[in-house]
Amino acid sequence: MRISKKKKATEILAILKQLYPLATCSLNYETPLQLLVATILSAQCTDDLVNKVTPALFARFPDAKSFAKADREEIETLVHSTGFYRNKAKNIQNAAIKIVQEFNGQVPQTMKELLTLAGVARKTANVVLAHAFGIIEGVTVDTHVKRLSNRLGLTKNSNPVHIEQDLMKLLPQPEWENFSISIIYHGRAVCNARKPKCSDCELAHLCVFVRA
């Protein structure tokens, strides 16, 4: 019997919450700024690698003012191993400059304001709002969320913004970030991009990819 997408999404969420009850943001941080920087660095890079880089980075630059005044080459050197280091260092510094000049040195707490910062799109903004401020504004769509949402038949879109819009219609708002984090865990543990462990997957009965 075919079920609606909304009912399927609700069932998927329930299973994921049972599988990963302690799922949380994998990035290490102590302040909203540190989370913002770490999330920018996580683009096309694993959270584990970011967590190896940030202790030295945050020890050297503890706040927005220090990032804003930094020698950018020093930032580049410290974040080099995360890839695309020149662009990431540029975005981090320019975001810090704007935070100092326009937001009194504090990371803003609205989607509209966050999106004005260099290097910040909805994915980064959603992570910062949810985990630094407890504000659930949207669904964080990274590569895992994109892949699994398509495989599970919750969306047919490839654009992250359109995927987010589809998921927001299917899930209750308080669970938007829980869904993202849990499905990211599942993507890492089971639904690998190249070799998904379909025979071990608790979501297999709901998955379009398995039946294809």
Q: Known catalytic residue: 142?
A: yes
Question: CA–CA separation, 134 vs 46, rounded Å?
Answer: 24
φ, ψ of residue 19 to 5 degrees: the values are -70, -35
Radius of gyration of the chain from Cα atoms?
18
Catalytic residue from among 8, 98, 123, 146: 123
Among 47, 16, 6, 15, CA closest to 29: 47
Question: CA–CA separation, 35 vs 106, rounded Å?
Answer: 12
Encoding tokens for residue 52? 């190896």
Q: Known catalytic residue: 71?
A: no
Place of tokens 């039946």: 211
For residues 117 and 96, the answer to whether their CB atoms sit within 8 Å is no
Among 33, 4, 2, 23, CA closest to 175: 23
Catalytic residue from among 142, 156, 166, 195: 142
Question: CA–CA separation, 138 vs 180, rounded Å?
Answer: 10
Which residues form the catalytic set?
Answer: 123, 142
